[in-house]
Amino acid sequence: MNDIESIIATAKKTIENEYKAVQNLMSLVDKKFAEVVKLIYASKGRVVVTGVGKSAIIANKIVATLNSTGTPSIFMHAADAIHGDLGIIQKDDVVICLSKSGNTPEIKVLVPLLKNGSNTLVAITANKSSFLGTQSDYVLHAHVEKEACPNNLAPTTSTTTQLVMGDALAVCLLEMRGFSSNDFAKYHPGGALGKKLYLRVRDIAAGNLIPQVNPETSIKDAIVEISEKLLGITAVIEENRIIGVITDGDIRRMLSKHDNIGSLKAKDIMSANPKRIQAGELAVDALELMEKNDITQLLVEENNQYIGVIHLHDLIKEGIL
């Protein structure tokens, strides 16, 4: 077997191993899991997620997912907890502890300290009979037969199952809270994802010039308007209402048909009833409308009044596309 074939085989074996472990989790989600979800949902405090080593990294990710979907959470490193960070935990918090073996030295020191308080302790572990498993109020069993690592040492499959169990908790809580895309946008205001959820057409159109002519405008002046406003388009309006549009393409088609354009007016070459979008619509909806109609600009109106143009390049610039 050459190197390429060996690499592909190892990769597939790793994925298959982790796939089977994740698939097995479905048989381990039981009434206790549901009780943990309801407990967290009813809690007046936060979720404190802790672990050590690779489990600590997964704990950090679970915290990030919970926070972003409406469940206030905080990470506490198990090793740091016994050196002062235990003060992070408040009386109404629910503590989730991640550990594959459930018997690491840090966990054995930390768990009795947690039990001294009134906080509910939830374990996510592959070993229900471990110290952590037997001392916790609830156990979410993230069982694994073996790690994907050929030596069965490096945390691979075990951390994947921990991560999936955490995601399952977060999604259940999200649904219980009725967490909507608008709520999601409040927690994700930055980046392309946030912009897709909150950026409105008016926000983008406001940064553009507003090309416009009236039906009697000469073709020469219409061309100048399109050129000066740099959007490849101009609206044709009457009493600030859209009645048509002239694009670069309309100009090219006109020039191919007419030798003498001196007598032509905007109304003679405009396209009536152009595609438009309301200012309050989401920018991502503008993109969908452009793609559906194979166009690169849309006229924008508000309360039946023309207010500007949104261009495909604007959406690209904002990271919507």
* Known binding-site residue numbers for Zn(2+): 77
Q: Which residues are annotated as a binding site?
A: 77
Are 129 and 90 contacting, i.e. CB atoms less than 8 angstroms apart? no
Burial label for 216, CB within 10 Å (0-12, 13-18, 19+), is exposed
Closest CA to 120 of 81, 91, 87, 86: 91
Secondary structure letter of residue 62 according to DSSP: H
Give the separation between CA 318 and CA 138, rounded to whole angstroms.
Answer: 45
Q: CB count, 10 Å around CB of 180?
A: 12
Closest CA to 268 of 218, 203, 199: 218
Closest CA to 71 of 37, 121, 101: 37
Phi first, then psi, for residue 257 (nearest 5°) are -105, -25
Are 114 and 137 contacting, i.e. CB atoms less than 8 angstroms apart? no
Closest CA to 72 of 40, 28, 96: 40
Q: CB count, 10 Å around CB of 230?
A: 11
